[in-house]
Chains A and B, each alone.
Chain A
Amino acid sequence: MRQKQRNRLIIALFVVAGVAVAAGLVLTALNENINLFYSPTQVSQGEAPAGHTLRVGGIVAPGTVQRNPETLEVRFDLTDGANALTIRYRGILPDLFREGQGIVAQGRLGADGRFTADEVLAKHDENYMPPEVQDALHTAEKLGLVKEQE
């Protein structure tokens, strides 16, 4: 029986070691890859850390989309009704990117206070509003930062 017990112990150690390695991997990976969500108001109040990957959501402010046709560089304002944040992006925008549409941008906040996105997410339905954006709009409204909209 001693042999059997030793085997069991070794196997159990293997399992524990394997799970420990996996847990370590999970924790470091989670630490580095959680993207926090901020509304334009939170960013303007300085709550968002610079130089860290994060998500910002809001409505694409009408009349702010500017494209440089030679370099495919695009610049637009993202608003939650109270504050706006300028987003810079280079590349092809999703099909449902439009002025007045709720979108989420993922990228980094520069030291100059402008946001450089490496991904712009618009969802797959014309009526769809990302829940984060919905919340951001609501909070801005609740804080009394937005005038009643007609």
Chain B
Amino acid sequence: MLPELGHFALILALCVALVQGIVPLVGASRGIAPWVALARPAALAQFLFLALALGALVQAFIANDFSVLYVAQNSNTALPLPYRISATWGGHEGSLLLWGVMLGGWTAAVGLLSRRLPELMVARVIAILGLVSTGFLAFMLFTSNPFERLPIPPVEGRDLNPLLQDPGLVLHPPTLYMGYVGFSVAFAFAIAALLSGRLDAAWARWSRPWTIVAWSFLTVGIALGSWWAYYELGWGGWWFWDPVENASLLPWLVGTALMHSLAVSEKRSAFKSWTVLLAISAFSLSLLGTFLVRSGVLTSVHAFASDPTRGVFILILLAAVVGSSLLIYAVQAPKVKSTGQFKLVSRETLMLGNNIVLTVSAASVLLGTLYPLILDALGVGKISVGAPYFNTVFIPLMAPLAVAIGIGPLVRWKQDSPGRIVALLWRFMLISAVAAVLIPLLAYGNVTPLAALGVGLAVWLFLSALVDLRRRLTNKGWGGFLTQPPAYYGMVAGHLGVAATILGVTLTSNYSQERDVRMAPGDSVELGGYSFRFESLSEVPGPNYLASTAEFRVSRNEAEVAVLRPEKRQYMVQTMPMTEAGIDWGFSRDLYIALGESLDDGAWAVRLQYKPFIRWIWLGGLLMAFGGLLAAADRRYRLAAHQERTAMATPLNVPEVS
């Protein structure tokens, strides 16, 4: 009964989405007030129905209702309850439903939180989100209905893929989707502004907090995914340049560019058409990511659907979104005038540099990701583009960007003198260059060019943030901290997050140590100054698996550091072995033990790893996201929105040019 209610709620949501997508849009262009006013209630109703549908599916998982095909495929009575709940989005259909619910949630949030914005603008934004939602819900209902019943329900479900039986599944997909889907709001604001023909500073200011929040979620989602892969896949790697990882990195890179370009559009009224193009691109890349992951064209942990009709449907959706928005852009963009003038040495130029580097690196990642797919589709041959490609392209592009991040906040808008900036910064550049060589040499005894580059950039980012802070707070005493707005500290936190991630990536990549060895109970192996002793091995039954648990005692200079228990699990239903690594984590290093395979005489192939500063990679991500939330919470967005609404309230019965 409940699954049918869920299905019914989904159909209702589609109907509401269709109304929400058309009526307010027509109302806004014809000036029909009641039609415009329909936007908010429709958005709330749609979200309500979607939430009901999700609730029904979650309940089917909790109640082990294997008469629902999707539940039977992805759950099992032996699966612990938290994993049964997160199994809701462990497969293709359910993760699409989650996508839909998030879109509904963002739309409802726009409806509720933008009461101070002009009605027409809000109506258009909600309508555009409604159209996107219509496409997605139709896709779900026609090709991937999560509520499909089985005529003869099986007694037991096929269980969730053991890789997904982890707290990572509870956190990673929802945060990542919040980010992906959140860019739809930035997209809707851009299209709505294009339609109204008013692409002004107000538009940029309204869309900024939404973009930043979506970006923050995406950042956390990517960081969580990387952390999950690190501890769950058993290899100790944190980024594989897997097409699916790239699919999440692409909107992140373009979204980062968008965030900065919006700042210029708001403050200086420049880059406006470019900003719109970035907003369209960021959301299109989110859709492309969904297509890549869901269509089965890729082979990866994430690709479950191999039904070609699904891929075609998402491709059509993608083409419709990109095509129609570019058409609107082509018609309306020539009317947009970027009035802000700037000189060569100015913050605008640096922001432009930021945008170019980010979009070019996104383009090169896109090329590396799609190239094998295109060749395969043309039947030319099967190739794969390896991680070295991405590293070779990415590092030289990111290094100048990191230098610019340090300079940017110190340079004035519109015009600045190169002499002033050089006088302010040359000492710190010198210190960074010296630190680049000295820090790795003192800490690890040797230095490579890449290690020096990364450490130098991280130190540089840290020092330049301090210089900027000191310059702003000079003669203000300790109370001076309060004179700067939260948005400023958000920016500082974001940039320091970049520094932390660069440091983590550099030290982990250059100074990790790894050994694959044969070990029997009683054996000891030295690595990175630590001694790993294999104490014992025991069989431990889990809820739906049997584990061989090893006990390792790790010591340093005879003092015990940790006892680690890596496991090799054999899952019952999917008869699949899984490696659970034993990790002793710390701020300056992780110790990582993974069991390989069992050899004869009770010995095991064991992988031992020493990973310096690896946590900094994800801590940096969290810091960036925290900075984003701090910036989005800045009061001036709310105040400014209020003033504009009172100043330029448009009478509803006057049709607008569109």
Contacts and interface: CB of A to CB of B under 8 A. Distances in A.
B518 A30 contact: no
Given A55-B384, A92-B597, A131 B299 contact: yes
A35 interface: yes
Given A33-B385, A95-B576, A18 B360 contact: yes
Interface in B370-420: 371, 381-386, 388-390, 392-393, 396-397
B521 interface: no
A7 B233 CA distance: 51
Interface stretch (A77-85, A122-130, A141-149): A122-130
Nearest to A92: B596
Given A19-B360, A69-B518, A69-B600, A35 B383 contact: yes
B349 A11 contact: yes
Nearest to B375: A34
A30 B163 contact: no
Contact of B360 (A22, A30, A53, A69): A22
Contact of B344 (A10, A36, A72): A10
A25 B384 contact: no
Among B353, B364, B393, B576, which residue has the most Cβ atoms of chain A within 10 A?
B393
Contacts of B643: none
B579 A123 contact: no
Nearest to A127: B574
A91 B516 contact: yes
Interface residues of A, number: 43
A26 B364 contact: yes
Contacts of B234: 95
A95 B516 CA distance: 15
Interface string B501-537: 0000000000000001110000000000000000000
B301 interface: yes
A150 interface: no
Contact of B389 (A33, A67, A92): A33
Contacts, number: 114
Contacts of A95: 234, 576-579
Contacts of A15: 356
A72 B392 contact: no
B312 to A, nearest CB: 17
A30 B516 contact: no
Interface string A4-39: 100100110011001101100110111011111100
A132 interface: yes
Contacts of B92: none
B388 A29 contact: yes
Given A14-B353, A26-B364, A124-B161, A36 B516 contact: no
Interface in B608-653: none
- Main SS class of interface, B: mixed
A98 B352 CA distance: 52
B437 interface: no
A25 B364 contact: yes
Nearest to B357: A18
A124 B163 contact: yes
A7 B576 contact: no
Contacts of B516: 72, 90-92
Interface in B329-359: 341-344, 349, 352-353, 356-357
B368 interface: yes
Contacts of A93: 596-597
A99 interface: no
A29 B393 contact: yes
A121 B565 CA distance: 26
B392 A29 contact: yes
Among B344, B357, B389, B578, which residue has the most Cβ atoms of chain A within 10 A?
B389
A70 interface: yes
A37 B396 contact: no
A96 interface: yes
A142 to B, nearest CB: 15
A28 B396 CA distance: 13
B356 A36 contact: no
A149 B396 CA distance: 52
Contacts of B163: 124
A30 B644 CA distance: 50
A106 B397 CA distance: 28
21 contacts: A7-B343, A7-B344, A18-B356, A18-B357, A18-B360, A19-B356, A22-B360, A25-B393, A26-B368, A32-B389, A33-B388, A35-B385, A36-B381, A36-B382, A72-B517, A95-B234, A95-B578, A96-B577, A123-B299, A124-B163, A125-B161
Which 5 A-B residue pairings sit nearest by Cβ, starting from the closest?
A: A92-B596, A33-B389, A37-B382, A29-B392, A22-B360
Interface of B: 161, 163, 234, 299, 301, 341-344, 349, 352-353, 356-357, 360-361, 363-364, 367-368, 371, 381-386, 388-390, 392-393, 396-397, 516-518, 574-579, 594, 596-597, 599-600, 603, 605, 607
